[in-house]
Amino acid sequence: MEHVRDLNFTNDLAEIPRLAEAIKAFGEQYDLSVSDVYKVNLALDELLTNLISYAYSDGQQHLIRLHLSLVPDRLTAVLIDDGAPFDPLAEAKPAVLDGSLEERPIGGLGLHFVRTLMDAVSYQRVGPYNQLTLVKSIAAQGAI
């Protein structure tokens, strides 16, 4: 049994709370753990925030699509945007996770979260779209 959900967002940071609501509702509907909901929300938040903040320079409204698909042990999230070709996984510098407070750079953690919290992340350019696919193994749930 596969459960799917399609969500649309615009390139506006006010969409971030709406993403959180949607992931929470999806998680509650299919009995996902609070921990899994947090991790999936955080990974998608980081990617959506980056898209909203950096993907568009034309000042226009853009549609960013999210497709969720849940099978008994696995959640797959596909994020699709129509920005210029950009693979955040290839471009990101490794996060700096040690050193003193003074040495620690500001920023660079978002993609580290995506890589750490998801089991697999991949990028594809599909026609005029960037497509990021996240896969997260899910602990056994009741409602599936």
Partner 1 sequence: MDISETQQNDITLVSLTGRLDSSTSAQFEQYILTKVGGQPRLIINFSDLDYISSAGLRVLLLAAKKVKQGNGRLILCTLKEHIREVFEISGFLSILDIRPSEADALAGMEA
| Residues making contact with partner 1 (CB under 8 A) | 13-14, 16-17, 20, 34-35, 38, 41-42, 45-46, 49, 52-53, 95, 97-98, 100-102, 104, 106-107, 109-110, 112-113, 116-117
- Min. distance of Cβ 87 from partner 1 in angstroms? 19
Is-contact 107 36, C-beta < 8 A? no
- Min. distance of Cβ 28 from partner 1 in angstroms? 15
Tokens of 110: 């978002």
The DSSP code for 30 is: T
**Phi, psi at 131, each rounded to 5°:** -130, 115
- Min. distance of Cβ 8 from partner 1 in angstroms? 17
Is-contact 40 5, C-beta < 8 A? no
